[in-house]
């Protein structure tokens, strides 16, 4: 199996990913896991991976006899995570998140997933470890974490200071930054080869672009001899300057050494690369003071709002305003519910003229009334917004809304806004969010 320039040989990776790109598959799987956990009350930020493990019915057991952590099959077919409690708090959090990532692979229970010594290392085990690093980053800093991180251009030193402040791994913070920043840049992860034809060269294990980066970065290729990455000879060492990259040319590069794969000697290197730092994306959420029930602009528009999965009547919040102003939409929604249509979480009802104005009623709230937990369903909202995106792209429409899911539904806007950004704004759909003055 090959994706890009990487030949994926690890049997666990091949079984997990099937025909998908393993990098995208693990990121999607981890993101779906954290969304579902937040949906069911996983508290944060900060998000505690130990609590996530308990939610997954994974025992978390301190064990000072092991080096870092491992995931172990139990006699009752369950799984336990054992960790060394004498490590730093940040290291413990990362180790637990990493072992949770191992549990996402279907063959996890077939063997002890131990952070092995060098002589026990399997040749392609780095592939599995790399994917678990990516999943651990999503677990430590899921959607809604540090929403302001991407609002300014940061250098590697400032990012390292933030890593210490928030007690997360360097990889987790840099991945979070690259997904939030509007700057044209990319994160490249490399590892030094210790034998074979490419000994002492640095292999590109994966690359994650920002929303405005346009160049393809070939994973599996090798950096040039020498250069900035070779200066990161210890964990935490940094280097900066202009660096030539395969098929990309010379780019401004800031890199840092991070822990090696288990069983290897040399630190891996994470490199932030950028071309024209003035390039930013216009595909972001626009915030205005006004009334979302009175959308602005002359182009086709979709008004999006959240409804619950129980009632066919819009009885509270913004939906009540819409029912008063667009009574036909409320009547048509009632017919939709009464007709036996699938009025369940994740479904979306449209009413109106696609060439002018449509109202999208997104079923993303569980019931109504007082509740100890938020009633918004983040996975359902993500699915609904994907449906709205398709309709908006088809009609060439903007999507306008209030702060959906955060009133009667009790959601967290930092999470909701990032779901909106991922599903709409970053896909080229104009999004306007209104706050009442």
CA distances from 370 to 254, 267, 362, 408, 409 (A): 49, 51, 20, 9, 10
| Phi/psi of residue 249, nearest 5 degrees | 85, -165
| Domain identity same for 379 and 409 | yes
Rounded Cα–Cα distance for residues 324 and 97 (Å) = 48
| Domain identity same for 289 and 431 | yes
Paired sense of beta strands 238-245 and 301-308, if any:
unpaired
Of 297, 414, 385, the residue nearest 38 (C-alpha):
414
| Domain identity same for 133 and 150 | no
Count the Cβ atoms, other than its own, within 10 Å of residue 1: 15
Q: Which residues contact 28 (CB under 8 A, 6 or more apart)?
A: none
| Domain identity same for 135 and 210 | no
| Domain identity same for 208 and 295 | no
3-state SS class at 171: helix
- Asked if 257 and 267 touch (Cβ cutoff 8 Å), the reply is yes
Rounded Cα–Cα distance for residues 153 and 183 (Å) = 7
- Which of 281, 298, 331 is where one domain is finished? 281
CATH number for position 37: 1.10.10.2910
Mean pLDDT over 31-35 rounds to 94
| pLDDT digit string, tens, across residues 216-267 | 887 777 766 668 888 888 999 988 888 888 788 889 999 999 999 887 889 9
pLDDT > 70? residue 135: yes
Mean pLDDT over 397-404 rounds to 95
How is the beta sheet containing 301-308 ordered, strand by strand? Answer: 285-289, 431-435, 398-401, 301-308, 357-365, 348-352
The kind and range of the H/E element at 384 are helix 378-395
| pLDDT digit string, tens, across residues 318-346 | 988 898 999 999 999 999 988 876 788 99
* pTM for the model: 0.82
Rounded Cα–Cα distance for residues 369 and 322 (Å) = 19
pLDDT at 6: 62
pLDDT at 223: 67
| Domain identity same for 233 and 185 | yes
HSE-up of 23 (CA within 13 Å, CB side)?
Answer: 17
Q: What is the 8-class DSSP label of residue 343?
A: -
Mean pLDDT of the chain: 87
| Domain identity same for 102 and 156 | no
pLDDT > 50? residue 3: no
| Domain identity same for 199 and 63 | no
At what angle are helices 413-423 and 378-395 packed, to 10 degrees?
Answer: 40
- Per the listing, tokens 């002589």 go with 119
| Domain identity same for 426 and 302 | yes
- Which of 281, 297, 315 is where one domain is finished? 281
| Domain identity same for 206 and 342 | no
| Domain identity same for 16 and 130 | yes
- Which of 114, 139, 164 is where one domain is finished? 139
| Domain identity same for 125 and 161 | no
For 64, the domain range is 1-139
Total structural domains in the chain? 3
């Amino acid at each position: 199996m090959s994706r890009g320039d990487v030949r994926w040989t690890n049997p666990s990776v091949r079984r997990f990913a099937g025909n998908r790109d393993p990098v995208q598959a693990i990121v999607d799987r981890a993101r779906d896991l954290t969304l579902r956990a937040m949906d069911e009350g996983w508290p944060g930020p900060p998000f505690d991976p130990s609590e996530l493990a308990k939610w997954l019915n994974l025992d978390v057991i301190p064990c000072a006899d092991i080096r870092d952590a491992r995931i172990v099959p139990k006699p009752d077919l369950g799984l336990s995570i054992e960790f060394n409690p004498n490590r730093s708090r940040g290291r413990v959090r990362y180790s637990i998140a990493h072992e949770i990532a191992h549990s996402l692979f279907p063959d996890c229970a077939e063997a002890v997933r131990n952070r092995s010594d060098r002589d026990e290392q399997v040749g392609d085990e780095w592939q599995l470890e790399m994917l678990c690093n990516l999943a651990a980053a999503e677990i430590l800093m899921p959607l809604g974490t540090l929403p302001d991180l991407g609002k300014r251009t940061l250098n590697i030193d400032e990012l390292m200071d933030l890593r210490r402040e928030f007690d997360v791994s360097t990889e987790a913070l840099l991945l979070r930054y690259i997904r939030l920043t509007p700057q044209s840049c990319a994160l490249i992860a490399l590892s030094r080869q210790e034998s074979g034809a490419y000994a002492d060269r640095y292999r590109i294990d994966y690359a994650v672009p920002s929303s405005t980066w346009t160049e393809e970065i070939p994973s599996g290729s090798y950096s040039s001899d020498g250069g900035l990455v070779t200066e990161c000879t210890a964990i935490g060492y940094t280097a900066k300057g202009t660096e030539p990259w395969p098929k990309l040319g010379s780019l401004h590069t800031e890199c840092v050494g991070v822990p090696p794969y288990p069983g290897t000697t040399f630190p891996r290197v994470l490199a932030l690369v950028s071309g024209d730092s003035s390039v930013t994306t216009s595909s972001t959420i626009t915030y205005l003071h006004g009334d979302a029930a009175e959308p602005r602009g002359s182009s086709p528009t979709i008004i999006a709002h959240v409804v619950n999965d129980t009632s066919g009547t819009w009885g509270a919040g913004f939906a009540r305003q819409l029912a008063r102003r667009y009574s036909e939409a409320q009547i048509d929604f009632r017919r939709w519910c009464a007709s036996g249509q699938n009025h369940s979480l994740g479904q979306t009802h449209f009413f109106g003229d696609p060439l002018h104005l449509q109202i999208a009623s997104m079923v993303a709230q569980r019931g109504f009334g007082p509740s100890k937990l938020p009633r918004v369903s983040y996975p359902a909202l993500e699915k609904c917004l994907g449906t709205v995106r398709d309709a908006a792209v088809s009609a060439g429409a903007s999507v306008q809304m209030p702060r959906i899911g955060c009133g009667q539904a009790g959601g967290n806007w930092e999470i909701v806004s990032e779901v909106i950004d991922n599903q709409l704004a970053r896909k080229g759909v104009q999004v306007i969010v209104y706050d009442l003055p």
